[in-house]
Structure 1
């Protein structure tokens, strides 16, 4: 069996693809897996680090409006389709599975040209252009969101890494806090802004550091690899641990009692799978899918939400301190978040892919 996975740009497209790859290997150790991506995305870092072959093809961003750039798309898209078709031929692909991003559009068109089965997975409630096209060409469409926006899509959840999907936060908490140099008996706030970080979250959390410390709250703050803080909290207790990047998000989730984060589809899927309540601050631009992601969790009691414009140190102190000081409320919110999570989407989708390809 030879499976080609197409998904790139952000971790939200790449991590579900890699989680599927891992599940496919568990079900069939002999399966051949090739990922296609572009040199613009995080796939150039994430895919090789997980031990999978990566083939790079030209990126073809599609404009969302009628602009002169639209005239350049057909020629560039044709070149990208030919590049993906060459990969499909070279690896003797049996099936293509797409997750969206720049590389997905030429991948879907190339697979259709070669007559291969196409599977689309859409994690967001508002699909991008690539997956809207892919859904028209695909034999099977699956959704990570309970109310699928693509016609005929079946809800399956979002594939997650095994260390996150199988995480037991309660039994791992002490080890996780020790891993980051945190104390075991203090409430812990986790701050992160996705794979790239979020400036507004960084600024508000750092400004709230004195008040959080005065209240006995320790903080694990992931800035993002390209972000430099305006200032750093001085050393002291409780700890305020500031890191550019964490490659063990499972331990970060286990260490925390509450998170402050964006509302990306992958973030929401991971937090509900592990039962970690959160304050969601959706991106203030784009199609608004982050707000839709978070609204479902907030309505279910597993979190709260703030507009990016209203987030401040005062907001954090006013809204998050009362939760962190109340273990019973944290427990209730954790249970509510966990009820909305799916832990088995990786293996479920892997079985579907092998069945369809077979």
Structure 2
């Protein structure tokens, strides 16, 4: 049972806007802080254009908006205007921290975190959480003057890093897939008994995954495999129906990831840090297709599960309908192999990362 940290009710400000990969760990941390300290106030920082505008209020937390500070990857005229933008964002963020009486600022990287770190520096204790092995610019800056630095994986090059894992929602870390399976399959209209593949490409979908997997729809039907495929809200997916075979169910977005994980025997997806952590936590065997852009961090995220025998890796460039049929169907229809991969996956996660990080944050707030 969790033991609450005592003392004056703290105000915790979390900075994790922009993408779900930054926002979800921030919200899991917020939930854990409230479990340990029900009297705590948790406030999120964000920008007017980020996903946090949808995700934060639905989780029951206040959202304070600050100007975004996009960090260009290459030298452009935007780079020349950056100091002015940073100064404006830091001033506005400092006003928020003063107004809410912040006791600690927790940053998860991205363009909301940089002004938060600079505004808090020398005034409010800072805790940095880095989900990837290759830290971004904001966290590299923040770690220089943070009270504590928490990271998801060993070998992350930040000073005084403590490995805690990635904070995940309790609906994920406490998930009993077997117990929820029947309800989950009914919820999505899937075959109750067929081997089932879950497919998604991040919150916005992934065209290469959509094309390759939907192109193998007949192969799945012929093999008696059901598919639940989240194609992204901005994409459409039309899949031929095969009467008498397990359904192929396309959906724009998965509101209930817990039920999606419970419905599946295998997942084919990207390997963002959050996704890799969730898949490990629920013990779901995976076929990872790392995003081909960026600094290769998604391939790095997938490596522990691949090395443990819990996942397979396909390069995005090699992903075709034929490859999906050749690789996925023999796997998802082999219960013994699926069971071994599932057992290997469970041992990889940090299921208590949310409360471990919450304790670090509450200690820093003192």
TM-score bracket relative to the smaller structure: over 0.9
Equivalent in 332, 343, 365 of residue 324 of structure 1: 332
1:147-162 paired onto structure 2 within 5 Å: 147-162=155-170
Q: Does 1:171 align with 2:179?
A: yes
Where does the alignment leave 5 or more consecutive residues of structure 1 unmatched? none
The secondary structure found in structure 2 opposite 1:35 is strand
1:42 matched to 2:51? yes
> 2:206: which partner in 1?
198
> Per-residue displacement from partner, 1:136-178 (whole Å, max 9, x unpaired)?
1211100112332322211001000110011011221122111
The CA distance in 2 between the partners of 1:177 and 1:247, in whole Å, is 14
- Quick one: distance in 2 between partners of 1:152 and 1:296? 23
**1-structure distance, mates of 2:33, 2:259:** 25
The superposition leaves residues 103-150 of structure 1 with CA deviations (integer Å, 9 ceiling, x where unpaired) of 10000000005x110000000111111111111121110011233232
Q: Secondary structure at the match of 1:100?
A: coil
CA distance in 2, matches of 1:340, 1:250: 19
SS in 1 for 2:204: coil
Distance 1:146 1:314 in 2: 36
With structure 1 as the length reference, what TM-score do the two structures score? 0.98
Correspondences of 1:186-225 after superposition (within 5 Å)? 186-225=194-233
Give the distance between the partners of 1:227 and 1:51, measured in 2 at CA. Answer: 29
Are 1:233 and 2:237 counterparts? no
For 1:356 and 1:290, how far apart are their aligned partners in 2?
Answer: 31
Distance 2:159 2:216 in 1: 45
What corresponds to 1:141 in structure 2?
A: 149
Query: Deviations 1:271-294 (Å, cap 9, x if unpaired)?
Result: 000000110000111011000001
CA distance in 2, matches of 1:216, 1:120: 47
CA distance in 2, matches of 1:265, 1:302: 16
Query: Do structure 1's residue 282 and structure 2's residue 282 form an aligned pair?
Result: no
Q: 1:147, 1:155 within 8 Å by CA — same for their partners in 2?
A: no
1:247 equivalenced with 2:255 (yes/no)? yes
Matched, 1:270 2:278: yes
Question: What is the distance in 1 between the residues matched to 2:269 and 2:240?
Answer: 20
Does structure 1 retain, via aligned residues, the 8 Å contact 2:288–2:312?
A: yes
Match of 1:261 among 262, 269, 285: 269
* 2:67–2:88 Cα contact (<8 Å) kept: yes
2:128 aligned counterpart, secondary structure:
strand
State the aligned residue count.
356
**What is the rounded CA distance, in whole Å, between the counterparts of 1:224 and 1:124 in structure 2?**
24
- Contact 2:221 2:242 (C-alpha < 8 Å) held by counterparts: no
Could you tell me which residue of structure 2 aligns to residue 74 of structure 1?
A: 83
Shift of 1:235: 5.7
Q: 2:119 maps to what in 1?
A: 110
Q: Specify the SS of the correspondent of 1:96.
A: strand
Give, in whole Å, the separation in 1 of the partners of 2:232 and 2:136.
24
Structure 2 partner of 1:183: 191
Q: CA deviation at 1:196?
A: 1.1
Please report how far the alpha carbon of residue 97 of structure 1 lies from its aligned counterpart in structure 2 after TM superposition.
Answer: 0.2
Assess if the C-alpha contact under 8 Å between 1:148 and 1:154 holds in 2. no
Name the residue aligned to 2:6: none
Greater CA drift, 312-321 or 265-274 = 312-321
Q: How many Å separate the matches in 2 of 1:332 and 1:233?
A: 33
> For the residues of structure 2 that align with 1:195 and 1:262, how far apart are their CA atoms?
10
Shift of 1:89: 0.5
| CA-atom RMSD in angstroms | 1.0
Q: Is the 8 A contact 2:266 2:284 kept in 1?
A: yes
Ranges in structure 2 where 5+ consecutive residues have no aligned partner: 1-9
Farther-moved stretch of structure 1 (58-67 vs 194-203): 58-67
Aligned residue among 107, 111, 123 for 2:131 = 123
State TM-score, norm by structure 2. 0.95
